[in-house]
Amino acid sequence: DQQVKQNSPSLSVQEGRISILNCDYTNSMFDYFLWYKKYPAEGPTFLISISSIKDKNEDGRFTVFLNKSAKHLSLHIVPSQPGDSAVYFCAASAQGGSEKLVFGKGTKLTVNP
């Protein structure tokens, strides 16, 4: 049973517009959430995280929103750039740290010039 779900396998946006990537989870014990960016044949790169005590975390063009009641988080990229084109993975852990991350299947973002 998938505990972390990214229901959109792909997303295409125009350069300069907002990209919104979504993630849903089922385990109410998850208390730490992360987004990773991955290029083909490379390891994932950490982008941004959020603890369950917050509902928003911002880092430059990247903002993560957490809705605990809906068990939903989203990553906003504004403005989107062609270099943002990659696969984005949502991940979650249940012990307040980087212990035993559970990953979604990823969303492939394409930013068109």
Interface residues toward other proteins, by CB under 8 A: 4, 6, 9, 32, 34, 36, 41-46, 49, 51, 89, 91, 95-101, 103-106
Q: Of 30 and 36, which has the nearer Cβ to other proteins?
A: 36
The nearest distance, CB 71 to other proteins, in angstroms, is: 17
The nearest distance, CB 31 to other proteins, in angstroms, is: 9
Q: Strand ranges (DSSP E) for the chain?
A: 4-5, 10-14, 19-25, 32-38, 45-51, 56-59, 62-67, 72-77, 86-93, 102-103, 107-112
Cα(80)–Cα(78) distance, integer angstroms: 5
Do 55 and 67 touch, CB atoms closer than 8 A?
Answer: yes
Q: Of 15 and 57, which has the nearer Cβ to other proteins?
A: 57
Q: Of 65 and 79, which has the nearer Cβ to other proteins?
A: 65
